[in-house]
Amino acid sequence: MTDKLFTPLRLGRHELQHRVVLAPLTRMRARPDGNVPTALNAEYYAQRTTPGGLLISEATPVSWQGHGHPNVPGIHTPAQVAGWRTVVDAVHARGGVFFMQLWHTGRVSHSSHQPGGTAPVGPSAIAAQGTTIDAQWKPVPYEVPRALRSDEMPALVESWRRAAANALEAGFDGVEIHGANGYLLEQFLQSRSNQRDDEWGGSIANRCRLHLAITDAIVAEVGAERVGIRLSPWGIANDSGEDEPLPLYTHLVRELALRRLAYLHLIEPRASGTGKADIHREGLPSAADQFRPLWPGVLIVAGGFDRELAIEAVRDGHADAVAFGRWFIANPDLPHRLRLGAPLNPYHRPSFYGGGAGGYTDYPALAPAAGGAG
């Protein structure tokens, strides 16, 4: 009997042939002049494509203001759109379904990444605790952000709508809104980073306003069946975290459910390091268990899954699909390996960010032409 993880799933306009998803993974390997995807990026994504498999791109800034790391590809210039088109074509040539994750780093950016060297922006002038990487790849403390003015919010929402349109122009099948991991949208969502007293702060409804405004703008542009969203209710990445997340995220998930999106993508609390470290937090409730009853559509989960946990999550109905990050980096044929129960290549964390082909496109597949996961 075939495990349900390796059976078809309807997602928006697409019939996936299995439920092993490439999670969005920042790799910092775009061309530095213009933050444009390259042929190397196309090779990387093509390697991880199976017929009818879902890939979610690395987090992709919606504007220059949204950038916060070196060599990250954007989706806000014609050159970037053209670069991504070559990547999408490579994925589609192998039969994959490709969504782009849209991103704005907000207060965890740095002035060296910002137009004119200005301060990064956030909901309030509250610096995150910790360090980031500047444009010269040097570790630097987070800076105090400039609080966005209320009259800037329509243009911010518009930048996300325009980025979604650009993604479809590049050929993507849909977009995922990055509403997680301590970046701009989650900064507005959580009370520790949002201390505004206007319509974008204060109450739970006001703090959810930006997520919903951006979702509505993108849905109006590309259609709900082409839109997913990622949340991390118990996440602590980038100095995020809500003391009592359940009321906040319950309100947000209920509102998002009314939009009938293609999927909801939840990060489990046991994975909170966003690639910087292996962080395991025990004793917290499962995000899937908490929010599955509120979400009538496709639910994707991510965070610390192995083969057995993924099979169990889908078999028991806690999720419809499982996204893998580190193991997909190290195993370009991961769906095939999981279906067979084959050994996995170990991942090499020092090569996650930046560099060239090493630690990016040189991980071996199980066989020269590994089959699909169905």
Catalytic residues: 183
Q: How far apart are CA 65 and CA 145, in angstroms?
A: 12
Q: How far apart are CA 45 and CA 58, in angstroms?
A: 10
CA trace torsion 23, 352, 354, 116 (10° rounding): 60
Q: How far apart are CA 69 and CA 78, in angstroms?
A: 20
Q: How far apart are CA 157 and CA 47, in angstroms?
A: 34
DSSP state of 218: H
Q: Is 287 helix (H, G, I), strand (E, B) or coil?
A: helix
**3: alpha, beta or left, given left = phi > 0 and alpha = psi -120 to 50?**
beta
Beta bridge partners of 299: 264
Give whole-number Cα distances, 45 to 22, 23, 48, 50, 363, in Å: 9, 12, 5, 10, 13
**75: nearest Cα among 18, 37, 28:** 37
Beta-carbon contacts of 197 under 8 Å, excluding residues fewer than 6 positions away, are none
**274: nearest Cα among 120, 130, 96:** 130
Phi, psi torsion values for 61, nearest 5 degrees: -60, 140
Q: How far apart are CA 313 and CA 301, in angstroms?
A: 9
The answer to whether 145 and 106 are in contact (CB under 8 A) is yes
Q: Kindly state the tokens that stand for 308.
A: 């057995």
**25: nearest Cα among 161, 176, 158, 142:** 176
